[in-house]
Amino acid sequence: MKVILKDDIEGLGNYGDTVNVAPGYARNYLIPRKLALEATRHAVQLFEMEKTKRAKVLAEQKGSAEQFAATLSALKVTIKAKTGEEGKLFGSVTSSDIVSELVKLGHEIDRKKVHLAETIKAVGTYTAEIKVHPDVIATVQVEVISE
């Protein structure tokens, strides 16, 4: 079944892509969650008009997103965690922990936009990437210290 994606879906495609998926996946998951719509001739025409409007809006937002990314990149987030011997953590530091620290600093971010290159399971300094805009990614320093 051909569908038009209304959002970026990892492993499937980006906004506006027309992809072939299993009919059950489309009917039971993508369409009810408003992540896609069936690719009929009329829907494709309407979506092309919507896509051009969205491109203009994203271009306008890119400038403010770059400024916000510069602000985030200047930050250093410090997270206190319980540790055992040799600086190993009991558990791990997740993207939710990083987002909660950023909220304390006054920056509201969706946890799904935070990407960690590796799981944080020891004391040290790490980097986290935050997707601020489809074309803009901010890099935040995360320092994990022992309580």
Percent of the chain with pLDDT over 90: 31
Indicate the burial class of 62 (C-beta count within 10 angstroms; 0-12, 13-18, 19 or more). middle
Reported as a single tens digit per residue, the pLDDT across 103-113 is 998 888 888 88
Which residue ranges make up each domain of the chain?
Answer: 2-61, 68-146
d(CA 142, CA 125): 6
- Residues in contact with 29: Cβ distance below 8 Å, sequence separation at least 6, in sequence order: 35
pTM listed for this prediction: 0.67
In the predicted model, is pLDDT for residue 21 greater than 90? yes
Q: What is the pLDDT of residue 141?
A: 92
Average pLDDT in the chain: 89
- CATH domain 2-61 topology: Ribosomal Protein L9; domain 1 (3.40.5)
Strand partners, 109: none
Domain 68-146 top-level CATH class: alpha beta
Q: Under DSSP, is residue 48 helix (H, G, I), strand (E, B) or coil?
A: helix
Ramachandran quadrant class, 56 (left: phi over 0; alpha: psi -120 to 50; beta: rest): alpha
> pLDDT tens digit string along 118-147?
888 989 999 999 998 878 899 999 999 988
Question: Per DSSP, what are the bridge partners of residue 34?
Answer: none
Domains 2-61 and 68-146 share a fold: no
Stretch 1-11: mean pLDDT: 89
